[in-house]
Structure 1
C-alpha cells in the first residue's frame, strides 16, 4: 500500500500538508464533507508541529476503507495530555480548533505523548459503509506509517495486507536503493501477496523471487495469521526488523534469512519459516532499516499499548534515520487495546 509523508517545519508546509491529505481523502472516495474535515484537521495538526515541535512530520496513510493522518515529532512532548484536549487550551495564546476539535472531526482519534521526547497523534476517517476495520474479523488490527528518503517523491518501501478464508497475510518490502525503481521493486513484491493471499510465506517469497529477477530486488518480511490455529508464521529475507511482543511483556526477535529477494536463489539460501502462538494480547512490529533498531518493547510498553497506526507513527517519528526510505507496520491482537 502506498502512503505519503511531509516534514513540517515552516508555515508553507501547513498548506502542503492540507493539500496532501485532501488529495488522499478524495482518492479514497470519502464524501466532500469528510474531505473538508480531513483538510481542516490536518491544518491544525501541521500548525501545531510548526508552533511547538522539533522534527515534525505529517504522514498520510490510505488503508482498507479508511484514511489515517498521523502527526509525529521528537519533542518537547505534552506534559498534561488530558488538559491539552480541552477546548481553548493553548500555550501560545492562539485559538485554533485544538486537539479536542480534531478528535471531534475524526471518526477515531488517538494520542501518545512522552514529555521531553515527543508526541504522535492519529486522526482516522472510515468509509460510510464500514464502522470497523476489515481485519477485525481475524482478531487483529493493523496500522502502518512510511516516509520516502529525503529528496525523493516516491518511497522504495511498501507494505500490504490480504485476506483469504481464515488467513490474513501482512507483508513489508524494502526495494534496494531509493526512488521510482526501488518503489517498483517493492510494489511488485507486494502484488504477489494480493495474487495468492492464502499461499504460505515460503511460497510467496519464492514467487517474489522469480518475478523480481529483472528488477532491482528487495528485502521482504511476510507474516501470516491463522484464526483457527491461533498462530502467526513468519518468513523473511534481508535486513528487516520483526519483533513479536507477547501479552506478558516478553518479546522475541524473528530473524530473516540473509539475502535479497530476486537474487536469493543464486546464493543457494532458502528462507526458513517460524511459527509462534498468537494471542489476543500479542503485538507484532515490522520495520525496514530506515528505522533504527535501538528501541526495546519492554521499556516502551506505554507506547505499544496504543492504536497500531499510532505505534507505527511513533516509531517512524522517533527512530526514523531520516536518510533512507522507512516503513513501519504494526499488528495488534484485539485484546491489546
Structure 2
C-alpha cells in the first residue's frame, strides 16, 4: 500500500444467506444480476456458478451456507459469492479443479467451470474441517479498476430468525482529502430490502469531524516495535495513503441494532476523521439517540504503522503465521457512555493481517487457525474465521485487513 492507486477497496452490501436452499440461491442470483445491470450473459454465468456451489454444498457439505452480495468500487458494481461449509473438505484442491475429477460419479467439471466463469475465484479446503470458496463476477467488458484483490474484506451474519444484522464493518482510504459521498447501500450490513434508511429513522445528520489534528506537546513520534503497543497522546496521520477500517456491533440484535450499526457506518464513511480516535469520537456523537454500539477503528499506513482505538467488546488482533497479538479496547458504549479514549500504535508485520470481530465470534481461536489462509483474500479469511469461531447466538461480523506484501 504505497499510494492511492495501489490501495484497492470494495464496498460490500450483504444481500442474503442461503442454507439448504439451492433453488432460492439461483433465483436470487438471477435477480441480483438484473438489479445491478450485470448483463444477460454474465447473469446467466453467475447463476451457473451459484448452482454449482450450492449443489456441492447440498451433496457434500456439513452445515454449509452460501452468501450472495453486491460489491462496488468507484466505477462499477458486481456480485460476490461466498460458499462456506463444515466438511468433509477436499484432500487435493488442484486435482478437484481439473475437469474430469469427481468423487460422486459425475463428470467433475464443476469447480473448474466456476473458476473459468468468475473474474476471480479462490478456494481453501482442509480435510475434516471444510471448504471456503469465493467467486466474484463483474460486468463485461471488465473495467480496469476491478483488477487485483482488495486490501480489506469482511462478512456479516444476522442471528437466526432475523433478516437484518446489527453488526457492520466498513473501510475507506485517507489521503487528507474530503471523501466522496457513499453510494446508497454501500455498507457492510445494509437495511433489508425496502427498509427505511437509518437517517430517516433517526432524524440525525452527519456531524463535523473532531477538530484535534495536531500532536500534543512532547508526544513521541518514534515508531512502535513489533508486538509492543505504544500509547499515543494525540496521534497524527502519517504520510501517504492510509486505510481506515471500522468494526461495529450494535447493542442487541434486530432492526434497532441495525439502525445503530448503519449510523456508525454512515458517520465513518462520510466523516473526515484521519485518526481512529477522531473517528470513534465522531461515531459516538452520531450514535446518540440510538441503542449505541461497540466500535473499533484502525488506521493502517504504508510503512506498517497501525493506530488503533476501540470502545466495547470488539476483538482486535494482529496475526501472523506464528503469532497473535491482541489489541486493547476500553469499556463503554459509543452513543451512550465512553471514558477517555486512548490510541495505541502498533506495527503490522510483513504478511501479517489485522483481525477485528464482534462477540458473535468466540475469542477461542489462535494464529494456527488462520496460518494457512494468510495468502487468500481478506473476505475469504473472514468467512473461514466465522466458520471456525461463529457462535450463532448473536449477530456476527469479522473484518480482515492485510498488510502490504
Q: Which of 5, 19, 28 in structure 2 is aligned with 1:20?
A: 28
**1:52-71 equivalent positions in 2, closer than 5 A:** 52-65=60-73, 66-71=78-83
- Higher alpha-carbon deviation: 121-130 or 305-314: 121-130
- Correspondence 1:114 to 2:126: yes
What is the Cα deviation at residue 134 of structure 1?
8.3
Whether contact under 8 Å (2:149, 2:377) holds in the other structure is no
What is the Cα deviation at residue 96 of structure 1?
6.6
Whether contact under 8 Å (1:158, 1:172) holds in the other structure is yes
> Which deviations, in whole Å up to 9, do the C-alpha atoms of 1:177-202 show, x marking residues without a partner?
22211111001001111112443211
Aligned counterpart, 2:161: 151
Aligned counterpart, 1:230: 304
Distance 1:223 1:31 in 2: 37
- Correspondence 1:83 to 2:91: no
Distance 1:318 1:276 in 2: 26
CA spacing shift, 1:133–1:25, aligned 2, 3 Å: farther
Distance 2:114 2:277 in 1: 43
Whether contact under 8 Å (2:319, 2:325) holds in the other structure is yes
**1:157-168 equivalent positions in 2, closer than 5 A:** 157-165=167-175, 166-168=241-243
What is the Cα deviation at residue 59 of structure 1?
1.6
Q: Where has structure 1 moved over 6 Å in runs of 4 or more?
A: none
Distance 2:350 2:32 in 1: 32
- Correspondence 1:4 to 2:77: no
The TM-score normalised by the length of structure 2 is 0.74
- SS in structure 1 at match of 2:283: helix
> Which deviations, in whole Å up to 9, do the C-alpha atoms of 1:137-159 show, x marking residues without a partner?
xxxx1121221110111111111
CA spacing shift, 1:113–1:240, aligned 2, 3 Å: same
> Which deviations, in whole Å up to 9, do the C-alpha atoms of 1:87-123 show, x marking residues without a partner?
2322222347411110001111111111011110111
The TM-score normalised by the length of structure 1 is 0.89
Whether contact under 8 Å (1:41, 1:105) holds in the other structure is yes
| CA-atom RMSD in angstroms | 2.0
What is the Cα deviation at residue 169 of structure 1?
1.0
**1:235-314 equivalent positions in 2, closer than 5 A:** 235-246=309-320, 249-265=322-338, 269-314=339-384
- Correspondence 1:47 to 2:62: no
Whether contact under 8 Å (1:44, 1:97) holds in the other structure is no
Distance 2:349 2:317 in 1: 15
- SS in structure 2 at match of 1:2: strand
What is the Cα deviation at residue 300 of structure 1?
3.4
- Correspondence 1:216 to 2:291: yes
What is the Cα deviation at residue 299 of structure 1?
4.6
Whether contact under 8 Å (2:304, 2:403) holds in the other structure is no
Distance 2:307 2:37 in 1: 34
What is the Cα deviation at residue 237 of structure 1?
0.9
Whether contact under 8 Å (1:162, 1:197) holds in the other structure is no
Distance 1:242 1:114 in 2: 25
Whether contact under 8 Å (1:163, 1:198) holds in the other structure is no
Whether contact under 8 Å (1:256, 1:271) holds in the other structure is no
* Count of aligned residue pairs for this structure pair: 322
Distance 1:169 1:30 in 2: 30
- SS in structure 1 at match of 2:51: helix
Distance 2:282 2:273 in 1: 13
Distance 1:88 1:51 in 2: 17
Gaps spanning 5+ residues in structure 1: where?
Answer: 136-140
CA spacing shift, 1:175–1:76, aligned 2, 3 Å: same
Whether contact under 8 Å (1:218, 1:261) holds in the other structure is yes
Aligned counterpart, 2:399: 329
Distance 2:174 2:13 in 1: 21
CA spacing shift, 1:264–1:160, aligned 2, 3 Å: same
CA spacing shift, 1:153–1:83, aligned 2, 3 Å: same
CA spacing shift, 1:168–1:88, aligned 2, 3 Å: same
